[in-house]
Amino acid sequence: MQAVGVIGAGQMGAGIAQVSAQAGYRVLLSDVSRERAEAGKAGIAKALDRLVTKEKITGDARDAALALIEPVEGVAAMGDCALVIEAATEREEIKRAIFADVGKVLGPQAILASNTSSIPITRLAQASPDPARFVGVHFFNPVPVMGLIELIRGLATSDATVETVEAYAQSLGKQVVRANDAPGFIVNRVLMPMLNEACFALGEGVATVRDIDLGCQLGLNHPMGPLTLADFIGLDTCLEICRVLHTSTGDPKFRPAPLLVKYVEAGWFGRKTKRGFYDYTGPEPVPTR
Ligand code: CAA
């Protein structure tokens, strides 16, 4: 495949750029400014350094991967990319504006993919230059560690698009699951009600943050408790996904927990704001309730 364009150099976009470069793809990485794209690459350099220190990759492999990543200004340079992956903020109007921009340069065979975790692919495809060449490609956080990519087919997505992107996903060493374009796809449809329920349980005084997390972590053999995971994903993102599930299905089982809403209103988004169900200002996270 020719180059891969990645739009959004935050946690997800940087992770996608990193694993793509490690698989040998040339990557053009953009964000709202060139500085943000450069900062994304600097974060990738640190992540690769850690892998060298742990002897997971060689110094040469790190240098080769880094050399393949080019931070760019805007999307104008992405005209020769075979695949452009949008991993921007989870807001539909922002994604639509990006697709309009990309539409001006996207090659006639090139595929446009969105890493959205919950916005319907069929609807997003309407803002893309060609819905047949539009697909959902949902990575999981932390991208270099998580072994899964969910592939979501919109109503108009062509077989060729699905097959090409599936081959790309597999070439990154990930397993692929295919989902139809239903709210939350597979993983968030199942995960978010669990995280939301943990917020209800906390809000109703069933148990403390520590006990809810430890109970689920050890009792279910999950790597993280649900409140730790919600903080890790971002409480704003969790709330947004719950709202999409709730409004698009009309099913009250998806209504967001009042405590989750309150935390987001307080600006307590989890790890990224150093405050969520835990306080992250010290050396170790401290439960807040
Ligand atoms: N980036 C890269 N590597 C990371 C990392 C990161 N942010 N965080 C941890 N790692 C690596 C560590 O370096 C370590 O690697 P080695 O085993 O090779 O040394 C490995 O992951 C394990 O890390 P730790 O020992 O530090 O800690 P841990 O065992 O607690 O694992 C974790 C950390 C991998 C994050 C683990 O807790 C986990 O899997 N948690 C669940 C994550 C999860 O569910 N993610 C999905 C979220 S949902 C989503 O993303 C979709 C959505 O739409 C919301």
Q: Which of 115, 128, 138, 196 is catalytic?
A: 138
**Domain 188-287, CATH number (from 1.10.1040.10, 3.90.1170.40, 3.30.70.100, 3.40.640.10):** 1.10.1040.10
Rounded to whole angstroms, how far apart are CA atoms 99 and 62?
A: 31
- Helix axis angle for 235-249 and 226-233, nearest 10°, is 100
Structure confidence at residue 1 as a pLDDT band (50, 70, 90): low
Q: What is residue 90's predicted lDDT score, i.e. its pLDDT?
A: 86
User: What residues pair up with 7 in beta bridges, in sequence order?
Assistant: 30, 86
**Mean pLDDT score across all residues of the chain:** 96
Domain ranges of the chain: 3-180, 188-287
Ligand 1: residues within 6 Å at CB?
Answer: 47, 54, 56, 117, 140-142, 144-146, 188, 223-224, 229, 233, 237
Q: What is the pLDDT of residue 8?
A: 97
Residue 78: strand, helix, or coil:
helix
- What is the reported pLDDT for 7? 98
Report d(CA 271, CA 267) in Å as an integer: 11
pLDDT at 194: 98
User: Catalytic residue among 115, 128, 188, 196, which?
Assistant: 188
Q: What's the CATH fold of domain 3-180?
A: Rossmann fold (3.40.50)
Is residue 8 annotated as involved in ligand binding? yes
pLDDT at position 203:
98
Q: Would you list the DSSP string of 201-233?
A: HHHTTSS-HHHHHHHHHHHHT-SS-HHHHHHHH
Q: Is 270 annotated as contributing to ligand binding?
A: no
Per-residue confidence (pLDDT) for residue 209, from 0 to 100: 98
How many Å apart are CA 17 and CA 11, to the nearest integer? 10
Strands 3-7 and 69-73: unpaired
| pLDDT bucket at 198, cuts 50 / 70 / 90 | very high
Instruction: Reduce the DSSP state of residue 276 to 3 states and report it.
Output: coil
Average pLDDT over residues 20-25: 98
The preferred substitution site among 140, 145, 218 for testing ligand 1, maximizing ligand atoms within 8 Å of CB, is 145
CB 18 within 8 A of CB 50: no
Single out the residue of 142, 287, 140 nearest to residue 215, CA to CA. Answer: 287
Helix (H, G, I), strand (E, B) or coil at 280: coil
Question: Annotated binding residue at 95?
Answer: yes
| Residue with CA nearest ligand 1 atom 11 | 145
pLDDT tens column, 83-121: 999 999 888 999 999 999 999 999 999 999 999 999 999
Distance CA 122, CA 120 (A): 6
Query: Using CA atoms in the order 81, 115, 270, 207, what is the torsion angle rounded to 10 degrees?
Result: -160
Banded pLDDT at 193 (limits 50, 70, 90): very high
Active site residue 138: yes
Asked whether residue 185 carries a pLDDT value surpassing 90, the answer given is yes
Say whether 117 is catalytic: yes
pLDDT value of residue 2: 80
Angular region, 13: left φ>0, alpha ψ -120 to 50, beta rest: alpha
What does the pLDDT read at residue 285?
Answer: 97
CA distance 198 to 220: 14
Task: Write the pLDDT tens digit of every residue in 122-160.
Answer: 999 999 999 999 999 999 999 999 999 999 999 999 999
